[in-house]
Structure 1
Amino acid sequence: MAKATPATAALEKAGIAFTLRTYDYDPNAAKIGLQAAQALGIAPERVLKTLMARAGNAVVCVLAPSDKEVSLKRLASAAGAKDAAMLPPAEAERVTGYHVGGISPLGQKKKSRAYIERTALAHPTVLVNGGRRGLQIELSPGDLVRAIGAKAADLC
């Protein structure tokens, strides 16, 4: 079994059931979420990528299917901001406490508002990064939303 991360610790503390999935992380993959989905043999729309962005002056966490692109205009609208932009990798790492390729929406160093693509809620389970490269957490989307206080929105 993979060793604990702040993400798995947060779920255990909240009493939320989850399953860990490991895979061989490819640091050269063009799209990390798609590589994870392929390596695990899971439909890419069920593997959610974790993106860190700025909506107005606020840092936000964004969860979207790995096979979709987030619309910054839609994200800004969902967050009630005039604009939105992705955080540079170094800032995302500093804010979350995780390395790029291993950023989890769970157990981040600084809690930020979270948004999840509405279509992700239709699946019985989804996968999110477990807090390190090559580790995914599978759980119900409802439990994920409750764990991070995410707001569902049309982001893609």
Structure 2
Amino acid sequence: MSKKDATPTSSTPTPAIAMVQDAGVAHRVHEYVLDDQLDQGTSLGAAAAKVLGVDPGQMYKTLVAFVEGRPCCALVPVNAHLKLKTLAAAAGGKKASMATGAEATRLTGYVVGGISPFGQRRQLPVFVDSSVLDWSTLYLPAGKRGLTLEVAPQVLEGLLHATVVSGLADT
């Protein structure tokens, strides 16, 4: 496994990176490469956190779900699980279900493993676990596997109008 901290090697930024740049938000882009073989049972997010030397609680994954048929995104630490009932309540519904990988890709324009809350094809409402407030910066998918954006948690509320939800993640 190797790590690279810089501007991505491709000359064209992902829509996520372009959105953050266009907004003038302070950020850093981290590029990383995972070995072909991940440890069995290790998620992509946990492996990326290890490669980047980041606490897994500081690295967030973007999950796409449906609440009463309406799509939304939930951000939880890579070492946690999304509490669907809590998401449903936060989004004003009674029941939530996870989107399939194909649905998530269709809705956001990103492939699973790189789904960013920024620069989505159709900007979905974003709900984020309150643990984001424990960190000065967060690591979020940047729209492509192998790319992560480091931003302040306040960017989520300011740029995405994200709703901070207590207990959204189950660690």
Equivalent of residue 77 in structure 1, options 89, 100, 115 = 89
Q: Give the Cα separation in 2 of the matches to 1:95 and 1:25.
A: 26
Q: Give the Cα separation in 1 of the matches to 2:36 and 2:164.
A: 30
Q: Which residue of 2 aligns with 1:137?
A: 149
AA in 1 matched with 2:109: G
Structure 1 residue 128 corresponds to structure 2 residue 137: no
Aligned residues between the structures: 156
Give 3-state SS (helix, strand or coil) of 2:132's partner: helix
Report the structure number with the largest CA radius of gyration: 2
Equivalent of residue 65 in structure 1, options 77, 85, 88 = 77
Between Structure 1 and Structure 2, the one with more helix by share is 1
Aligned pairs for 1:87-102 (under 5 A) are: 87-102=99-114
After superposing on structure 2, the runs of 4+ consecutive aligned residues of structure 1 that deviate more than 6 Å are none
Q: Which residue of 2 aligns with 1:107?
A: 119
The normalised TM-score by structure 2 is 0.87
Identify unmatched segments of 5+ residues in structure 2.
1-6
Q: Give the Cα separation in 2 of the matches to 1:109 and 1:64.
A: 21
Say if 1:26 and 1:35, in contact at 8 Å, map to a contact too.
no
The normalised TM-score by structure 1 is 0.95
Which string of whole-angstrom CA distances, capped at 9 and with x for unpartnered residues, describes residues 36-78 of structure 1? 1111010001000000000112100110011111111111111
Q: Which residue of 2 aligns with 1:10?
A: 19
Alignment RMSD: 1.3
